[in-house]
Structure 1
Amino acid sequence: MEHILRPIYQERASQPETLGVILVTKREETKSITDTFDTVLLIIVKEADKPIFTKHYTHEEQKMTMHVLTETVLNKWLYTGSNRRIVDWIFHGKVMFDRNEYLHKLRLKLQEFPFFGRKIKTGIQFSKLIRRYLEGKEFFNRGDYLDSYSYVVDSLHHLARLSVIDNGLYPEVTVWSQVKKIEPAIYKLYEELVMSTESLEKRLELLFLAIEFLINSRTHDGAQHILEAMLEKEVWTIQELHSHHELRYYSTDLEVFIEYLIEKEYIHVEPVAAKNEMISHRHYKIDKEFVKSEYGIE
């Protein structure tokens, strides 16, 4: 299949904005990794009018897909874990073109994890955990146990990814097989949720207690990234936090995370007078000296 696709990727490789080209071949045991396509051609570019551009091809009985994506999109996926197949493609795909060793250096960064974005990955996964836990608890309190169950499963997945990150690894598509080896206690919680003979209500009740304990024990590490980012300024508006070049990756989970950290007294609310004397703007700040001493920042 490589020779069929060669004219396509050679044309792309000749363009100055192209950083790298990877060819991924379907493996029978993991067909879903390539979305059942026989071959994936991944092309990473510096910039493009369309951040993600996809084309499908066919040759005899073979089907192929080409994904062209910008470096910004790639970094977002790597930070947020929102497309875990991309890690498999980068590690296991065949490098067909590599401008200035871009892909070689990227692989080294991923292999040398946790030095590649460990703090931001932890913060993002922790913020997602907070939202899923809170929303699941609301469903539970209303007696909507099946909806609550779905959110507890999501919460456990985020806990699983956090445990993998804590152990200096990168969360793979098969994250539970990783967790079973490195953090059996969290794997046991997942087993209890899906396999226990207790009533669903009782299972959820026990899981919420366990998850709450794990959240509290991980808050210090989970908050580190956002607190260090907030060292850049004295006071922040919510829009400034959303627009921050790294905090924007928290997306819709940012605000509920901030409220959680206010409750835990990591972040403080700073009222600022508005034109309307009846209300105040709600700004946010941290105790810089506390953060620096807490996380060993000079």
Structure 2
Amino acid sequence: MGHEVQTFFDPPTGSWSYLVVDAGSRQAVIIDPVLDFDAAAARTGRSGADRLLQAVREHNLDVAWILETHAHADHLTAAAYLKEQLGAPLAVGAGICKVQQTFARIFNLGDGFPTDGSQFDRLLQDGDSLPLGELTIRVLATPGHTSDSLSYLIGDAVFVGDTLFMPDVGSARCDFPGGDAATLYHSVQRLYALGDATRMFVCHDYPPAPRPPRCETTVAAQRAGNVHLRDGVGLDAFVALRTARDATLGMPRLILPSIQVNIRAGQLPPPQDNGVSYLKLPLDVL
């Protein structure tokens, strides 16, 4: 039961997206697609998503699922556009409902904005499985960075979203609404229990110079060398480290536009009477 992992990098946001293909059936899944966004002009684009589409069409793939690891705060998702183009269902963790409730208040979205996850086709729970040709996608809840964070285990590969970065970068921040450093610690231990040979694919890479961006590591490499969560780092030490580090971090550059789009499953806010969609900037809130 072989599978292929094709990787797609978005330099402006340091984001990795994935196309995972079951070699036997040629069914595929797209994980964490990115919508282009020029923040200065507030203009969206589809060049990154179109590279995924090109790969799907060139190889005559049947996309069975579009999967989000969580509601990202550092890029806008292209999931709605890809769903429109491919007809594939979109899935996210059931924790999205809590994220929607939190940010519906922050953005004052009103009673007309559903906070039940109904913008998505399927809400996933820990332990769920999804078919992918001859393979099975195993769903692992890995909260801590956010309350809705999931990881997806496909064969010998696990796609961890922002739970962990490359070993020389460390772990995800835990100071967003719904984040918790102790919860992240336990989620990472769960990933480490998958076995040293498990390949691990991250959603972002912010490499120290002069290393180029990378997306793949292993559980063994993380356990041996992750600068925040290698073997031997206990819960209390990690929570202290993560809490101190988070206190020094500013908000991600695209958090306000990203969250407003991503809790809508990639749809832009409804156009106003002039036909234009608008994003909100809540002042002095975050």
- Asked if these proteins are the same fold (TM beyond 0.5), I'd say no
TM-score by length of 1: 0.27
Higher helix share: 1
Higher strand share: 2
Structure number with larger C-alpha Rg: 1
Tell which has more relative contact order, 1 or 2 (C-alpha 8 A, sep 6+).
2
TM-score by length of 2: 0.28
